[in-house]
Amino acid sequence: MINLLSLLSISRLFEMVVKYFDAFLNLIPLSFVLGFYVSYVASRWWQQFLAIPWPDKLFHSIACFVQGFDEESRILRRSLMRYMNLALILVLRSISSAVKQRFPNLEHVVEAGFMTNQEKELFSAVPSNEFNTYWIPCTWFVYRIQEASKKGKLLNAYALDTIMREFCDFRAKCGLLWCYDWVSIPMVYTQVVTLATYLFFIFTVIGRQKIDTLRKGEYMRSGRMPMDIDLYIPIYTILQFFFFMGLLKVAEQLINPFGDDDEDFELNWLLDRHMKASFLGCDILMDPDRIPPLVKDFYWDKQNCPIPYTEASMHFKRKTYKGSADDMIIPESKQQMVFPEIEEESEEDNDSKKLSRLSLTSLLLASNSTLVPETPSRGNSRKKKPFRQGTMDEIDRMTNDGYYISGKHHPLLLYPFPTRLEALNPTQ
């Protein structure tokens, strides 16, 4: 009997705990918190990839504007591109563990051919205790391109401006990479999201247990309707766990794409590619013997160029899109060109519009309306004296507030009407 009572008390206590955790389960807005966090991390991850500088535009500009294929010109072009790739290596050594493992110190950079021993000594002579000095090769670039401009090595006056624009873009992206590593996502933000995710599933495991004391049709405090089937494996809770924890792990993986994981950016391959492409584009492929001659192309003088397809790709060929209204058919009865008709306005409307555009003097001259001068009298009362009808010869001049007769001012009092001024009865 005692054991039965203890079991019943434990069962009631367990049901109370389940109801308690279920009641507060929806108070954690995990979908909003985790979704916003993953969206922010993914956006930052892509922006970091776009911040990686590519030297293609720069070495094409140098190949175009630094003329000559003599030894001095070739050394100049190759040195300029080597300086820029060296600056990229130096900044990546300070933010990427994968690049740091490849180049632990400057001796490895010299052995790889990105820097000479003399350049290493000049670079090491600059104190770098307070800030990163990855930009020193950029100053060498500026000096050499300025020297080439003074010696007339550049093609024209716009060459220096074009090359410097591409150089500044490359240099700015190197600085942006370093800033992304310097100003990272706040650690407390990641901790809050991680803690919210784990706590949510701890509450879920307890709050979604099946209890037998609920009546049929009765809901839990969270609004969840209890299931009649007691499943040993909570399928939907497990799926929800996979979705939320998967998003959290994705965000953790994307926070630092400059690491040495398999999903991180292949920065070492990128350095190899940049160095090889730079030397090919600005030097080797600029050899006149390696430039193909100008010939007539295959479609010379052909108005319609039948570009071939393979049998495997014929089903990709589609009809040319010309526009949504291109196949629209207009009836022949509606294709006649006509001039739009202009409806004549009524005479009364014309008179009213003309009258509204007239000035005060024109209104007085064009109508026989009575002008009623208002002369003040003694006391507060004013007496209106009608001005006799006749010609306007007696009026010396008109103003906006009255008229003058024999040098005496008479204020005007006009009676407005909807369309025209009508003559007043002198007895009024």
Of 171 and 340, the structure prediction assigns the larger pLDDT to 171
Model confidence, pTM = 0.70
Report the SS3 class of residue 305: coil
pLDDT greater than 60 at residue 228: no
Helices (H), 255-378: 267-282, 347-357, 360-366
pLDDT greater than 50 at residue 24: yes
- Which pLDDT value is given to residue 408? 59
Cβ contacts of 307 within 8 Å, gap of 6 or more: none
- Give the pLDDT mean for 325-345: 80
Considering only 60-69, 250-259, 299-308, which range has the smallest mean pLDDT?
299-308
Of 42 and 392, the structure prediction assigns the larger pLDDT to 42
Considering only 215-229, 305-319, 323-337, which range has the smallest mean pLDDT?
215-229
- Give the pLDDT mean for 264-288: 94
Residue that is written with structure tokens 């497990």 in the block: 238
CB atoms within 10 A of CB 206: 15
Considering only 121-125, 339-343, 394-398, 418-422, which range has the smallest mean pLDDT?
418-422
Please count the helices (runs of H) and the strands (runs of E) in the chain.
14, 5
Report the SS3 class of residue 383: strand
| Distance in angstroms (rounded) separating the CA atoms of residues 228 and 223 | 16
Report the SS3 class of residue 411: strand
Helices (H), 24-155: 30-50, 56-65, 71-93, 97-102, 106-111, 117-124, 136-150
The two three-digit tokens of residue 170, written as one number: 């490359």
Considering only 84-98, 190-204, 227-241, 362-376, which range has the smallest mean pLDDT?
362-376
- Which pLDDT value is given to residue 405? 55
